[in-house]
Structure 1
Amino acid sequence: MSDFLIDEELLAAIDMGSNSFHLAIAKVDHGEVKKVVSMSEKVQLAAGLDEDENLTEAAQQRGLACLARFVGRLSSVQTNRLRIVATNALRQAKNGHEFMQKAAEILPKPIEIIAGREEARLIYLGVSHTMANGGRRLVVDIGGGSTEFIIGEEFEPIHTESLQMGCVVFTNRFFPNGDISHKNFQKAFVAACKELTAIANTYRAEGWDTAVGSSGTIKACRQIMINMGLSDEQESITREGLEKLKDKLLKYKHVSDLDFDGLKEDRRAVLPAGLAILYAIFEVMEIDRLMFSDGALREGVMYDLLGRFKHEDIRDRSVQALVGRYGADVKQADRVVKTAQHLFENVADDLKLTNEDSDLLRRAAYLHEIGLAISHGGYHRHGAYLLQHSDIPGFSQIDQNHLSELVAHHRRKIKSEAKNETLRHGGMSLVYLCLLLRLAVLLNHSRSDEMLPAIELKVLNEQQWQLTVSGDAKQWPLLVADLHDEQTQFKHWDIDLIIQSEKFID
């Protein structure tokens, strides 16, 4: 299969938002993503979080039914050209793994739960590819569970933030029965202002040339204002128009009474909360005019996917940035990467490992020593913690968990019970990658550019690997000793490592 997309081939993205789920299918036309199919359903996953932050069964069933309908439209899209991302509701849900296990039976590939800042980065990517104007932009996206803020230029974000306020969450909190009053609107407004204080000074100091909004809440408010003659000549949202819309909204007593021209039924219940958040954003961020972009998270996901096929993968830039930030030894990382890739090529077919597995192993090999920036003692654990809990552009939480597992187990003893945890995170392929990284690191313990002996790894069966070291083993006494020790560790994970050379046979 070619690594490159060609014109007319399809990409697809499923965006599992806290309020709505979206499916977009697009073709690639001269490097641009052109949507050919677009579906959206109001699932309100965030509204299905109970007081213990668990997704209710009803919410899960709404989500699963929607995903099943989406899958019916994906028959013409190859699996490696599809990404499925989930946002704030699944970030918050304590039982999110239960929903994901059920969804795995429906979906052709796993769901990626993305961090708030990664969501912001992808939103900016989607917006920037659909906007003609240049200069510095502030992009605002009010979702169901969170609101993302990005300042960027061209296609590069400068600041990304995700705040815990959204139209569904604020509806449940301030308008639970659908009642509208000055009092509950003011409470929602003040709560949003408090959230915004965390970023307001930094963002205002950075500045921007144009402000752009995206997604459902801002789209709905803008359309109502256009129909009421409250927008400007470019059909943008203005501070004056927003003030008038707020005054008109507060004349109603209940969301069921709202009769704004252009207000869709599925947007009615969350409009007061969404408007309160938008009103607070205008006030605190001192915005006078907000343009609108049709680009959003799903478009950003597809452009990001397109970049991966074009070898412009943000994940590789993020890995190199982490290596630089934590001062890792680049030469040693390169040695380990080279050895890991050689070992991977030896066994990939027998172990049914994929190109994605190869990329994961390569990135973990680059990052395996970043924990040294914290402490030499237990640095593999420090590195694993950094990878699990950092905001890393391009990586989902699942991706980061996989990297963390690899780095956590690349040295020292590995316990039998740790295999079960690794299996839970990524199956047998992740177990195999952990063992391959251990070997690659071990074979480069000398941290030397001197030639290593020729190494070949072979899978004899499910429980036996054979490592052949060319030449006289007496030339490599420390290596042989390390390999002896490593045999014990491999047995803890149910693999017999057989070592052979001309004058040393295990």
Structure 2
Amino acid sequence: MNANARLLAAVDLGSNSFRLMIGRVDESITAEGSSRQIFQVDAMREPVRLAAGLTPDKYLDQPSRRRGLDALRRFGDRLRDFDREQVRAVATNTLRVAKNAQEFLIEAEAALGFPIDVIAGREEARLIYLGASHDAPACVGNRLVVDIGGGSTEFIIGNGYEPQLMESLYIGCVSHSRQFFPNGTVDEYAMKQAELAARREIQVLVQQYRHTGWQQAVGSSGTARALAELIELNGFNDQANELGITRQGLLRLRRALIKAENTGRLKLQGLKPDRIPVLPGGLSIMLGVFDELELDRMEVTDGALRLGVLYDTLGRNHHADMRQVTISQFVRRYGVDRAQAERVRQAALQLLAQFPEPPHERRDENLALLGWAANLHEIGMSISHAGYHKHSAYIANHADMPGFSRTDQARLATLLLGHAGKLGKLSASSKFFDWRMLFSLRLAFVLCRRRADVTLPDIRVQQIEGDLVEGFAVYLPQAWIERNPLVEYSLAQEADEWERVGKRYKIVYD
């Protein structure tokens, strides 16, 4: 038995630090049923400062890329004996905005040895809340979670383990420190400008968040924890041994920083060298949070994005996948014809399952994605029947889809765009890399066009491989095709369309 079988690992490619967390899954049986908990067994942190390497024109420079790759190689060495389904790696704000992110990610995945998902801001917020809610003190009522990262800050209000409001703002301790405190210089004017800039960004959510309300405020991850440690160790809170972050504690830390005039001259207990360059930016954002949301105190938790990723991975591995919940919500929201979606889904999955599974493919993941594409292929009809597949793809590509990475959404959108119409729009696309999935979906769409519950005959498919031209073969019963002339006509059109993009499409009637 694999010694790591009960372990899960999360890798967080943050804008300030890269982190690895390994957790052990423990299951307990109670009178109410079974429950699963994750306990940390190992962790690694590398202060990569990726956002500091982002040039003014949004390109990652070579030194920051090298620091990141070196860190990921060390993480990959630690994870060498883990299976793919045990590890999930996510990247956040800096790799959302960097123009050469894809180039870096190819090298990063090779260094780590596992795929890396770039997640959207609200998906990051959802995972942060999932982690924080499993680690924070119990709360009756709503909980506010604030996570100040290197390039973005997430605000979430939730109840129990369920987020209700989620927002991600483009302010972070690295970017704010670079903008307002170059070379670590700190004065009253710069601090005031940094606080006002943070408050201006936060104002967009204040009214809705105050209206919803919360009974507990929690700061998660690196910046909140670093501020709390400095405030506690240096006695900046009003009461001795008071834990967490208080308004008075932040103001006293602010005065100490301004008095030092430069972060390099700041002498405080608990001040870690890698936190010094980003301290003034993180502090000014937290002061803006306290002012705009009228906070006096905030508790701090270590549970954040990494722990949330672990619990989300645990759910995926135990059939509680948030992505399936999202698909069900979209089906309901856009008034999908469920019966037709299910016909197309069943047919597409049966077709894809006939192809051999290459060594590099995760068949279960592709089957799931293909099924979700079938579920959603008609959501664009809620906008217009004309060109509805384009609307379907647009929605999938741009909507907030909890549980889905940006890569997931891009692949899903490409399947939706390509399930009908011309293939030329996809032939040069770098986002699509499995033509078998698209072939299966298009053929299922053709076979189910009558929108009726009919039994399909035994249809076999095969991939045609060649040195120059690849393609597909479809084998259908001659008697059945004679009774369905529309299918015969549609398949002939399909063959022409595939030939236009340089792929063979062979139709054989048995």
Q: What's the TM-score, normalizing by structure 2? A: 0.93
Alignment of 1:455 onto 2:459: yes
- The number of equivalent residue pairs is 494
**Contact 1:456–1:468 (CA under 8 A) maintained in structure 2:** yes
Report the aligned-residue RMSD. Answer: 1.9
Encode CA deviations 1:302-345: one digit per residue, 9 max, x unaligned.
11001000100000111111122222211111111111111111
**Contact 2:219–2:298 (CA under 8 A) maintained in structure 1:** yes
What does residue range 366-445 of structure 1 map to in structure 2 within 5 Å?
366-415=375-424, 418-421=426-429, 424-427=430-433, 430-445=434-449
Give the alignment partner of residue 55 of structure 2, picking from 45, 50, 55.
50
CA, structure 1 residues 352+53, in 2 after alignment: closer, same or farther (shift >3 Å)?
closer
Q: Which residue is 1:79 aligned to?
A: 84
Whole-angstrom CA distance in 2 between matches of 1:497 and 1:264: 63
**Contact 1:7–1:29 (CA under 8 A) maintained in structure 2:** no
CA, structure 1 residues 464+55, in 2 after alignment: closer, same or farther (shift >3 Å)?
closer
CA, structure 1 residues 208+113, in 2 after alignment: closer, same or farther (shift >3 Å)?
same
Whole-angstrom CA distance in 2 between matches of 1:475 and 1:225: 79
Q: Which residue is 1:264 aligned to?
A: 272
* Other structure's SS at 2:451 match: coil
Q: Which residue is 2:364 aligned to?
A: 355
Encode CA deviations 1:24-56: one digit per residue, 9 max, x unaligned.
112211121122210001111111011111111
Alignment of 1:475 onto 2:472: no
Whole-angstrom CA distance in 2 between matches of 1:460 and 1:116: 41
Q: Which residue is 2:38 aligned to?
A: 33
CA, structure 1 residues 50+12, in 2 after alignment: closer, same or farther (shift >3 Å)?
same
Q: Which letter maps to 1:277?
A: I
CA, structure 1 residues 249+132, in 2 after alignment: closer, same or farther (shift >3 Å)?
same
CA, structure 1 residues 208+287, in 2 after alignment: closer, same or farther (shift >3 Å)?
same
Q: Which letter maps to 1:264?
A: K
Give the alignment partner of residue 215 of structure 1, picking from 211, 221, 236.
221
Offset of residue 301 of structure 1? 0.7
**Contact 1:147–1:165 (CA under 8 A) maintained in structure 2:** yes
Alignment of 1:98 onto 2:95: no
What does residue range 19-418 of structure 1 map to in structure 2 within 5 Å?
19-30=16-27, 31-135=36-140, 136-231=142-237, 235-349=243-357, 353=361, 354-415=363-424, 418=426
* Other structure's SS at 2:380 match: helix
**Contact 1:8–1:28 (CA under 8 A) maintained in structure 2:** no
Q: What's the TM-score, normalizing by structure 1? A: 0.94
Offset of residue 460 of structure 1? 5.0
Whole-angstrom CA distance in 2 between matches of 1:262 and 1:492: 66
**Contact 1:23–1:40 (CA under 8 A) maintained in structure 2:** yes
Offset of residue 351 of structure 1? 9.3
Encode CA deviations 1:255-308: one digit per residue, 9 max, x unaligned.
001111011110011111111110110110011210011101111111100100
Whole-angstrom CA distance in 2 between matches of 1:321 and 1:6: 38
Offset of residue 234 of structure 1? 5.3
**Contact 1:10–1:81 (CA under 8 A) maintained in structure 2:** yes
* Worse overlay, 492-501 or 124-133: 492-501
* Worse overlay, 269-278 or 231-240: 231-240
CA, structure 1 residues 458+219, in 2 after alignment: closer, same or farther (shift >3 Å)?
same
* Other structure's SS at 1:349 match: coil
* Other structure's SS at 2:235 match: coil
Matched-pair identity in %: 42
Whole-angstrom CA distance in 2 between matches of 1:377 and 1:392: 25
CA, structure 1 residues 464+94, in 2 after alignment: closer, same or farther (shift >3 Å)?
closer
* Runs of 5+ unmatched residues, structure 2: 28-35
Whole-angstrom CA distance in 2 between matches of 1:495 and 1:273: 54
